[in-house]
Amino acid sequence: MNDTKVNRLDRELETRDKFERPTKWAIPDLLPDPKPEAGYAYRWIRVSTQGTADVINITSKLREGWEPVKASDHPEVVLMGGVTSRFPDSIEIGGLVLCKTPTEFTEQRDAHYRKLATGQMETVDNSFMRENDPRMPLFRERNTKVTFGKGA
């Protein structure tokens, strides 16, 4: 018999961190978000619908300033299986390809469409107020109110 003691941890002190399950279930992301990069905006852009290439959509987005993201630049986006794509080193999931553009472009685009929407609202207001009669003035209020409560 060997009388030397072996230093062993009690079984209760051993941990199994690698094999623990998540503490909370969450809906899996269909389109994972890449790690943000300063100065760039990310967006998933359609390249095909039900297996049919959508050339008009992707070419218009490329002309608008969006460029496909390289898969090597974002390894945190896990890809399952080998999908053949028009953009071989890109990240494509379900007919959508991950693209990025400088935030200046998105700000300019937002300002352009905000200006268009404001012009359309002014046109509608002018057309509406043309029907105004001093004997029975039209009421125009743009304030909206959201309330939460008992209902009735």
Instruction: Write down the pLDDT at residue 61.
Output: 93
Burial class (CB in 10 A: 0-12, 13-18, 19+), 137: exposed
Could you give the C-alpha distances from 104 to 4, 19, 124, 145, in angstroms and in order?
72, 45, 30, 33
**72 belongs to a structural domain:** yes
A 10 A CB-CB count for 44 gives 18
Residue 15 confidence (pLDDT): 60
| Any domain includes 52 | yes
Q: For residue 57, what are the domain limits?
A: 40-102
pLDDT band at 14 (very low <50, low <70, confident <90, very high): low
Q: Is residue 69 part of a domain?
A: yes
67 within some domain: yes
Domain assignment present for residue 82? The answer is yes
Is residue 78 domain-resident?
Answer: yes
58-103 residue pLDDT tens: 999 999 999 999 888 888 776 654 556 677 788 888 889 999 999 9
Q: pTM of the full predicted structure? A: 0.61
pLDDT tens digits, one per residue of 113-147: 999 999 998 888 888 777 777 777 666 666 667 77
Does residue 118 fall inside a structural domain?
no
Res 142: pLDDT: 64
**128 assigned to some structural domain:** no
Number of structural domains (the chain) is 1
d(C-alpha 105, C-alpha 61), whole Å: 12
